A and B are shown apart, each in its own frame.
Chain A
Amino acid sequence: MAVRRDEPKGTEAQNSASMPLAGAWLGRSVPRIGGGRYVSGGVEYAADLVPRDALFLRVVRSSLAHAKIRSIDVEAASRFPGVVAVITGEQVRQISRPMPTRVPRERFPGYLDTYCLAGDEVLYVGHPIAAVIAVTANDAEAAIELVKVEYDELPAVLDAESGLNASSPKARSAWNTNLVAGDKIRQGDVEAAFAAADHVVRGSVSFAPATSAPMEPRCYFAEWDRRRSKLTLTGTMQQPHPTRWMIAEVMSLPEAQVRVVATDMGGTFGLKMVGHPEEALVAILSRHLNRTVAFVESREECFLANAREQTHHFELAANADGKLMAFRDRMVADIGTVSAVGGWLMAMVSPTVIPTVYDVPNCAVDSFLVTTNKPPWQGVRGYGKETGNLAVERAVDLMAVELGIDPVELRRKNLLAKSSFPHRLPSGHNLDSGDYEGALDQLLEMFPRARWEAVAGNETRGRVGVGFAFELTPEGASFPGSMPSGFETSTVIVDPTGTVRVATSVTSPGSGNETGIVQLVADVFGVHTAEVAIAQGDTDITPIGGGNTSSRSLMFGGAAAVLAARDVRERISTYVSELLGVGADQLQYVAGEIRSGDGKKTIPFKQAVHTIYTQAYSAAASVELPLQTSKTYRASNVRHVPDEHGRISSYPSFPYSVHAAAVEVDAETGQVRVLDYAAIHDCGIVVNPGLVEGQFKGAIVMGIGAALWEELQFGQDGTLTTNRLKTYVLPRSKDIPPLKIGHRCTPSPFHPLGMKGAGESGFGGAIAAITNAVANALGESGRSLSRIPHRPERILALLGGAR
């Protein structure tokens, strides 16, 4: 894998001044810490750690999409062998407070009930109504059907577009509208630009609801310590500090009496963010029953995590020579039920990426977020960026067809120039840096386009198509009003033996970010990575921050660790400088030694540390003790004060990627097979190329799955029908060709290490490249391709139309 480092003028000096980039570990594919445990079955997941004496909680869920609860009869269930308690929404209201929402409550159109069990109204099939707690999970599960719920059914809203009509029934009785939120983004004179344009193309794309489906479903267990009045909540939580805050609010406890411990995770992709009712339920009921209470999510329940369903109607205007002039998009998202979780915010992010990597002077985007009686959205990789990217990429391809211009050349002609950064998007995002054309050239070197296009000309039962797509991936979300609003904190300690400890607020979803952070800290002290230990996920040990979201772990948590480590290093240098008679800024930390610039004077790192701890009143009298510092990293490219257009910018970092795919559409069955795939990824300075590439490949595979197979389907009554891995089909290794990956490095001038987020990138580009390739294979009828995923039956219908 080749990394091309191409530093824009001006940033090189800035970067090297703030951080030496020539460290021993930076840029090396150090094997992932604990990787062997993950692949050899040695990891203890949350469900493996549930204490033997724990009670198990199972959830009674609504069988109707929308109804008033008339009565709940728990009598029979309570008497079932093994059952310890059956708790309803009414009881929960007596022993806890509402779960706090991810955004301030005044942003909703009316009262939002966020208790962890439904009150008198159920809002989707699967809505938690009551909790059964029993000695075994089986007993609890068996007792669930003995809980008799009587409903008065209400009309359900199961379609967003019709839900927008004033006459539509309301998905939530307390609100007089189904419109939860929306955005109106404007730049330039869109009307005039469309009127004056030589060419206009129109299209639409709709996304089926989809989900994250990690290997490991959710699991929590809560242990109430009555003597200390302290609750410990352990489990699958990618945001332990926000969860501690949530639990503290729900249980009316100070944070000091709540400890949240996140366990090793088998994937999350956004699912395990804060705010699930069961997180609060086990905690509340552990105190209420004075017992340990555990919840292990079933695979069926895991599929209740809804996301992504939305439709875009877009128009693109261009001049005769192919210069893009204006883009217009109307987006309607079906965000399901609004709850304490923040997944629905993904639909607020979608329009903000427009018009992505292209220079389009006039833009208008209107978005409408509609609540319906489907399950709440949960975070999922892509976080809404994939849909805005795809709308733009489809429009560009449609314009290429319209103009008869090569889609690659049309893109090249309209890419933002490398010299045009920082660049403000219509949404207010301030793009940090990019070399889009360079990436495109690099992609074309790697992808055998001519070969596939030659095959495409052959008359066979398979129609071969080639598709290209860019993806702009805003990362490092730092929303105003959210808890916390986007900073991360790391503590670095150099212990008396000279080994190093890091405790950071960011957590690992299983991606290996702890390895990258260890590399960064090892470089600051010039020690081996084996000398650096890292703690994540335990709120009693780690400092406050958001956790693992929005590809922030290295960019924020890593940067904070470097800032803290440098502070500790300065303290050590105070002593060594006096000892060696060398200026502190001349000291180098290399290979376990601290050296003068000319290398003539040295002291072992460990010896210096030992002396500092043991000679605090003499040799090290001027050193601040202990060798321990916490630092927070706050991104410099986030702006919460509205600009002159009234827009804020909650994303500091803009990695991008460009993708090429060759697919074969079976003309007789409509089945799509991916033949070839290549992509170039640029996330600025890379700490661990192997881990970044692993994340990028994973994102591409997830994107191919979303493009071709993954779809949550709901019946007419709002019941999810695709709740098994047999009906919600994920890609397997045989479905994916070898992925050719290239990297580019355009450092961010706004980040102290030049980094951008990595982890989500690749997902949206893959959906778009596959979609454009399928459309290309379909020829003329490909213009009508408008539904993700590309089900064979729809493709067959398009093929029939073309005959």
Chain B
Amino acid sequence: MISHDFQYEAPESFDIALDLLSSFGSEAAVLGGGTWLVPNMTYGRHRPKVVIDPKNLPLRAITRSGDELVLGSRTSYAQVIDSSSVADGAPLLAKMAQQVTGGPQIVGQGTVGGSACYGNPSSDVPACLVALGARMILRSKDGTRDVPASGFFLAPFVTAKRDDELLSEIRFPITSERASCAYEKLKFSTGSWPIVTANCIATTSVGSGLHLKIAVGGANETPVAYEVVTDTDPSEAELSNIAQRSAPLIEREWADEFAGSGYRRSVAPAIVRRALREALGRDRV
């Protein structure tokens, strides 16, 4: 149960919301889907003085804007899964959302923006946003900032979003029609956190070989990402080499109740290799 008293606000405009954030700062919490905030308040781990529910703000739309896909920060996993715009413009995002742990409650309630702002190393979302080259649009009374996902996740549960800022939308460059993508996740059982995730976007361009964009989640305190250009039809040995390059990037390895230090770093290349193979349409072995 939530044992402390708090103020609940559902502002009717951005101005009011941003005023609240400005005056309460770190003592305010913004409610996304509530799948993190509510349990953390229940367990007494987070005791905000004010909870700002942006349900009255227009933050749930999925739109195409020129060569970008724009996701309102309150877009739920279920919306992402159902959206043809996402399927066309950022198919990796849909693949990730389809693998989110939890039943209809989590998929229907949980939001992409909420997960991003929580910055949990064990979440599906952060590395996926990094792989997709997403930009986080942060609004405050001082104006609007545009922060790349690669610079958004700073430390476990710490992001570049200031206390007075509201994540309003996430913008994705449209994934090339020539690209194929894969989302591979290691988790120990249906109910477990992601242990290591691997996102891969493979793009073939005539004359310039195969361009691979790889982002690994869960293994490090923050997502790690790298890009590789290789032959259009890389050998298995080459794929293993590419996958192996993920391990030294895991400099601040994440450890928890499921696996202690050393484990995630040692299995990350295997998960990356599986993602690479899937993206290249090769059979699972």
- Interface set of A (CB-CB < 8 Å, partner B): 137-138, 141-142, 144, 298, 300, 460-461, 668-671, 708-709, 713, 721-722, 724-727, 729-735, 791-793, 796
Nearest-Cβ distance from residue A352 to partner chain B, whole angstroms: 33
Within the assembled complex, what's the spacing in Å between the Cα atoms of A793 and B253? 14
Within 8 A of A (CB), among B233-285: 256-260, 262-263, 266-267, 270-271, 285
Contact of B188 among A709, A724, A733 (CB under 8 A): A709
Contact of B263 among A141, A721, A729, A796 (CB under 8 A): A796
- Extra contacts besides A727-B256, A792-B263 (10): CB < 8 Å: A138-B1, A138-B2, A669-B267, A669-B270, A671-B188, A709-B188, A709-B192, A722-B257, A729-B191, A792-B188
Contact of B189 among A144, A669, A670, A732 (CB under 8 A): A732
Within the assembled complex, what's the spacing in Å between the Cα atoms of A670 and B267? 9
Nearest-Cβ distance from residue A50 to partner chain B, whole angstroms: 14
Nearest-Cβ distance from residue A346 to partner chain B, whole angstroms: 24
B158 at the interface (CB under 8 A from A): no
Would you call A460 and B285 a contact (CB within 8 A)?
yes
- Interface set of B (CB-CB < 8 Å, partner A): 1-4, 43, 186, 188-193, 256-260, 262-263, 266-267, 270-271, 285
Contact of B259 among A137, A708, A731, A791 (CB under 8 A): A791
Nearest-Cβ distance from residue A801 to partner chain B, whole angstroms: 14
CB-CB nearest in chain A for B257:
A727
CB-CB nearest in chain A for B263:
A793
Would you call A461 and B267 a contact (CB within 8 A)?
no
Would you call B3 and A461 a contact (CB within 8 A)?
no
Within the assembled complex, what's the spacing in Å between the Cα atoms of A144 and B258? 31
- Report B-chain residues with C-beta under 8 Å of the C-beta of A724: 43
Nearest-Cβ distance from residue A105 to partner chain B, whole angstroms: 38
Question: Which 3 pairs of residues, A with B, have the shortest CB-CB distance?
Answer: A668-B270, A141-B3, A732-B190
CB-CB nearest in chain A for B122:
A726
Contact of A725 among B191, B267, B271 (CB under 8 A): B191
Q: Would you call the interface of chain B mostly helix, strand, loop, or mixed?
A: loop
Would you call A735 and B257 a contact (CB within 8 A)?
no
Nearest-Cβ distance from residue A721 to partner chain B, whole angstroms: 6
- Report B-chain residues with C-beta under 8 Å of the C-beta of A461: 285
Would you call A671 and B190 a contact (CB within 8 A)?
no
- Report A-chain residues with C-beta under 8 Å of the C-beta of B186: 669, 671
- Report A-chain residues with C-beta under 8 Å of the C-beta of B2: 138
Nearest-Cβ distance from residue A715 to partner chain B, whole angstroms: 10
Nearest-Cβ distance from residue A705 to partner chain B, whole angstroms: 8
Given contacts A138-B3, A141-B3, A460-B285, contact A793 B190 (CB under 8 A): no
Given contacts A460-B285, A727-B257, A793-B260, contact A141 B189 (CB under 8 A): no
- Report B-chain residues with C-beta under 8 Å of the C-beta of A722: 257
CB-CB nearest in chain B for A136:
B1
Would you call A729 and B1 a contact (CB within 8 A)?
no
Would you call B189 and A708 a contact (CB within 8 A)?
yes
Which of B263, B270, B271, B285 has most A Cβ within 10 Å?
A: B263
Would you call A721 and B257 a contact (CB within 8 A)?
yes
CB-CB nearest in chain A for B1:
A138
Within the assembled complex, what's the spacing in Å between the Cα atoms of A468 and B217? 38
CB-CB nearest in chain A for B187:
A671
CB-CB nearest in chain A for B2:
A138
Given contacts A671-B186, A793-B260, contact A729 B4 (CB under 8 A): no
Within the assembled complex, what's the spacing in Å between the Cα atoms of A796 and B188? 13
Within the assembled complex, what's the spacing in Å between the Cα atoms of A796 and B186? 14
Given contacts A138-B2, A141-B1, A722-B257, contact A796 B266 (CB under 8 A): yes
Nearest-Cβ distance from residue A707 to partner chain B, whole angstroms: 12
Within the assembled complex, what's the spacing in Å between the Cα atoms of A298 and B43? 10
Within the assembled complex, what's the spacing in Å between the Cα atoms of A730 and B189? 8
Nearest-Cβ distance from residue B40 to partner chain A, whole angstroms: 11
Within the assembled complex, what's the spacing in Å between the Cα atoms of A137 and B43? 14
- Report A-chain residues with C-beta under 8 Å of the C-beta of B191: 725-726, 729-732, 735
- Report B-chain residues with C-beta under 8 Å of the C-beta of A732: 189-191
- Report A-chain residues with C-beta under 8 Å of the C-beta of B3: 138, 141-142, 144
- Report B-chain residues with C-beta under 8 Å of the C-beta of A709: 188-189, 192
Would you call A142 and B285 a contact (CB within 8 A)?
no
Within the assembled complex, what's the spacing in Å between the Cα atoms of A709 and B258? 9
Nearest-Cβ distance from residue B79 to partner chain A, whole angstroms: 24
